[in-house]
Amino acid sequence: MNSENLTGLEKLLREGPQPINLGLRGFGEALRHQGVQVIHVEWSPPPPEVRDLEDLLDKLLL
Amino acid sequence: MARICRIHKARYLDSVFLMEVTRRLQAEPGITQGAVVMGTPANLKLLLSLGFPEQDLKEAGPDDLVVAGEGEPQALQKALTKVESWLSGERRGEAQAPKTLIQALALNPKANLAVISLPGRYAGKEARRALERGLNVFLFSSNVPLEEEVALKRLAQEKGLIVMGPDCGTAIIAGVGIGFANAVRRGPVGVVAASGTGAQEFTTLMHKAGLGISHVIGVGSHDLSDAVGGISTLCALAALEADPGTQAITLIAKPPSSTVLGLLRERMNKLSKPVVACFLGLIPPEIARALGGRLALTLDEAVVKTLGVLGAPCPSFLASYEASPARLARTQRPPLAPSQRYVRGLFAGGTFCYQAQLLFHWAGIPFRSNAPLLPQYALPDPWRSEGHALVDLGDEAFTEGRAHPMIDPTLRYERILQEAEDPEVAVLLLDFILGHNASVDPVGELLPALAKAQEKVTQRGGHLAVVASVCGVEGDAQGYGSQVEKLRAVGAHVLPTQAQAAGLALSLTQGRHEQ
């Protein structure tokens, strides 16, 4: 099958994961140990004013 | 003695890293108590119970980091300075690292998977962001509301993506283990799993049987509920059907609702590849009728049936999997004292606790559990065993404010010692889970507790039998063989599968509970 016709999930299975890790640092490290290029996000909770704006945007988008 | 609490507002660090910092703080000289935790209600409750004053904690919220210590004043100041340096050491690595998913995507626009293990109240939003940008999602976080799960999964479905989770512990994609997974070889078997430890047991047994795994797609524990309608499971089945490396598919979950069963059966009937459905639970007759020979009732049976549909030989350790524990029990006669009658199962894997309950239930042996198969089996106090007790130590009642027993052995260590105090205990039934992200030496960490417990029971004139299973393969960092050897060195019976271990524990006490 032409890879352009594959869904995003099918491509993931075919090509293997290229992950972005948010949360437990160990999950990213375990992926790196398996030879996978992983990007770890140094995530922190959004400030309350940003959170309110995000909530509003989410409601508009839903 | 001094007590100090410091609150760092809006500073997030993950629970596993903080567990390590807490351990290091507690090991500092002159420190009597210490904890470095996020200010969640459960953690604040824990700090209050340790005697830290409410006044010092009132400003802390779930997004804030709390550093709390108790000890000799000078030693405490010194230790807390060290904690700051450990924490800022962590921060040094943050300078160039992306702070958001969007920034990370700029660094790798080809990223195709977001692995999310943030607190539940933020996880859903980040998952949505990932899906909107074309990424599949592995969502380890729990406490994501059901309606949010449904919305995320519908969005994924529209976009041809998948949400693995929430509450998804295990996936293997093209040979890469994500979350808690083992170093199994690649091969023709695709797995769709609503149970992380169920997937780990199945894949490691399949590896030991000589076959391999194409992919394990986790779906989260609620996917086959009426509310979610099996959205991720159906997407996963379709993707494995299209995957050229997959020749057979095994589904591992608790029994679905009748509505979802209808959807599943329709999809399964259309698949060109053979499917085995392992539904761990009490199977309604409609499911048994609908699935016929494709239904497996235990993880061992799922492996045997999957090997069968592929025409692969069944290895001896599985060939007589139902009869071998009883046969073994006839040859093993532990010198139990008359009062010793009961099995105490202390599990790190929730599915292992559940599977053990099924075996006891089918054998007609009454038991208690904190995560009961049926309401009548409920253990009134999860902290105290009675009769045959099968305890899931990964249950929320135990993990509030601490890491899961697959990572942190403390709780199981203490519980083993507690069980040894009970003259009715005959058998300790234990599971050990190896692989990525699990404890570096799960058996070694518990050996001192097992030795103390055995000594205690021997001093009373009895014998404490230890029956165990080790879920893992030789290629796991912990090494399957060395973990098994450590257990055998203390006289434990180590069975090749968890179902067989539960069967042996049951057989060793057969008849004794009626005395």
Query: Could you tell me whether strands A39-41 and A19-22 are parallel, antiparallel, or unpaired per DSSP bridges?
Result: parallel
Q: Long-range contact list for B100-103, CB < 8 A, 24+ apart?
A: B100/A41, B100/A43, B101/A20, B101/A22, B101/A41, B101/B126, B101/B129, B101/B130, B101/B133, B102/B129, B102/B133, B103/A41
Q: What CA–CA distance (Å, rounded) separates B203 from B181?
A: 9
Give bridge partners of residue B391 from the DSSP assignment: B346
B392: which 2 tokens?
């899931």
Residue type present at position B3:
R
Contact between chains at B111 and A25 (C-beta distance less than 8 A)? no
Residue B89: in which H helix or E strand, if any?
A: helix B73-92
**SS3 at position B318:** helix
**Nearest chain B alpha carbon to A1:** B242
Q: Count how many pairs of residues, chain A against chain B, have C-beta atoms within 8 Å.
A: 158
Closest by Cβ to A11, choosing from B63, B112, B436:
B112
Q: Which conformational region is residue B11 in: left (phi greater than 0), alpha (psi within -120 to 50 degrees), or beta?
A: beta
pTM for this structure? 0.91
Q: What pLDDT, on the 0 to 100 scale, is given for residue B515? A: 46
Q: Which residues of B are less than 8 Å from A30 in CB distance? A: 177, 436-437
**SS3 at position B413:** helix
Which DSSP state fits B199? H
Closest by Cβ to B108, choosing from A1, A18, A28:
A18
Q: Which residues of B are less than 8 Å from A37 in CB distance? A: 108
Question: Closest Cα to residue B343, out of B321, B326, B324, B367?
Answer: B367
Distance from CA of B178 to the nearest CA of A (A): 7
Q: Which residues of B are less than 8 Å from A11 in CB distance? A: 112
Distance from CA of A30 to the nearest CA of B (A): 6
Q: Do residues B214 and B258 lie in contact, with contact meaning Cβ atoms separated by under 8 Å? A: no
**Nearest chain B alpha carbon to A55:** B125
Q: What pLDDT, on the 0 to 100 scale, is given for residue B11? A: 86
**Nearest chain A alpha carbon to B163:** A9
The count of other CB atoms within 10 Å of the CB of residue B51 is 11
Contact between chains at B112 and A10 (C-beta distance less than 8 A)? no
Contact between chains at A27 and B437 (C-beta distance less than 8 A)? yes
**Nearest chain A alpha carbon to B19:** A24
Contact between chains at A7 and B114 (C-beta distance less than 8 A)? no
Question: Closest Cα to residue B317, out of B329, B297, B331, B303?
Answer: B303
Contact between chains at A34 and B177 (C-beta distance less than 8 A)? yes
Contact between chains at A17 and B100 (C-beta distance less than 8 A)? no
Contact between chains at B116 and A23 (C-beta distance less than 8 A)? yes
Q: Do residues B466 and B443 lie in contact, with contact meaning Cβ atoms separated by under 8 Å? A: no
Contact between chains at A9 and B126 (C-beta distance less than 8 A)? no
**SS3 at position B150:** helix
**Nearest chain A alpha carbon to B135:** A8
Distance from CA of B330 to the nearest CA of A (A): 43
Q: Long-range contact list for B449-456, CB < 8 A, 24+ apart?
A: B449/B412, B449/B413, B449/B414, B449/B416, B449/B417, B450/B416, B450/B490, B450/B492, B451/B490, B452/B417, B452/B420, B453/B416, B453/B417, B453/B419, B453/B420, B453/B428, B454/B420, B454/B490, B454/B491, B456/B417, B456/B420, B456/B421
State the sign of the Cα–Cα–Cα–Cα dihedral B283, B240, B229, B263: negative
Distance from CA of A56 to the nearest CA of B (A): 12
Distance from CA of B59 to the nearest CA of A (A): 15
Contact between chains at A27 and B141 (C-beta distance less than 8 A)? no
Contact between chains at A19 and B125 (C-beta distance less than 8 A)? no
Q: What pLDDT, on the 0 to 100 scale, is given for residue B71? A: 94
The ipTM of this complex is 0.89
Q: What pLDDT, on the 0 to 100 scale, is given for residue A19? A: 98
Q: Which residues of B are less than 8 Å from A31 in CB distance? A: 115, 176, 178
Query: Could you tell me whether strands B248-253 and B176-179 are parallel, antiparallel, or unpaired per DSSP bridges?
Result: unpaired
Contact between chains at B110 and A22 (C-beta distance less than 8 A)? no
Q: Which residues of chain A have pLDDT under 50?
A: none
Distance from CA of B156 to the nearest CA of A (A): 9
Distance of CA B78 to the CA centre of its chain: 37
Kindly write down the DSSP assignment for every residue of B329-396, as one continuous string: HHH------TT--EEEEEES-HHHHHHHHHHHHHTT---EESS-SSGGGB-S-TTS--SSEEEETTSH
pLDDT in tens, chain B (515 residues): 899 999 998 888 888 888 889 989 999 999 999 999 989 888 898 889 889 999 999 999 988 999 999 999 999 999 999 999 888 766 545 557 899 999 999 999 999 999 999 988 899 999 999 999 999 999 999 889 999 999 999 999 999 999 999 999 999 999 999 999 999 999 999 999 999 999 999 999 999 999 999 999 999 999 999 999 999 999 999 999 999 999 999 999 999 988 899 999 999 999 999 999 999 999 888 888 888 889 999 999 999 999 999 999 999 998 766 666 666 666 667 788 889 999 999 999 999 999 999 999 999 999 999 999 999 999 999 999 999 999 999 988 787 666 789 988 989 999 999 999 999 999 999 999 999 999 999 999 999 999 999 999 999 999 999 999 999 999 999 999 999 999 999 999 999 999 999 999 999 998 765 54
Which DSSP state fits B180? S
